[in-house]
Homo-oligomer: A and B are copies of this chain.
Amino acid sequence: MTPLSYALLGLVQMQPRSGYALRKVFETTPLGGYSSSPGSIYPALRSLEKTGLLVTRASSDGRGKGHYHLTAEGGRLLETWLAAPIGDLGEAMLRFAFLRDDDRNAILAFLDDFQSAAEKQSAGLEAFLASEDAKDMPAKARIAVEHGLRQLRASADWACWTREQYATD
A residues adjacent to B (C-beta < 8 A): 14, 28-30, 93-94, 96-99, 101, 107, 125, 128, 133-134, 137-141, 143-148, 150-151, 153-155, 157-158, 162, 165
Contact = CB atoms under 8 A, between A and B. Distances in A.
> 3 nearest interchain CB pairs?
A154-B154, A97-B144, A97-B141
Given A28-B133, A145-B30, A150 B140 contact: no
A141 B101 CA distance: 10
A30 B133 CA distance: 11
A103 B28 CA distance: 40
21 contacts: A14-B138, A29-B128, A29-B134, A29-B137, A30-B145, A30-B148, A93-B144, A96-B140, A96-B143, A96-B144, A97-B144, A98-B140, A101-B138, A101-B139, A107-B140, A143-B162, A146-B158, A146-B162, A150-B155, A151-B151, A151-B154
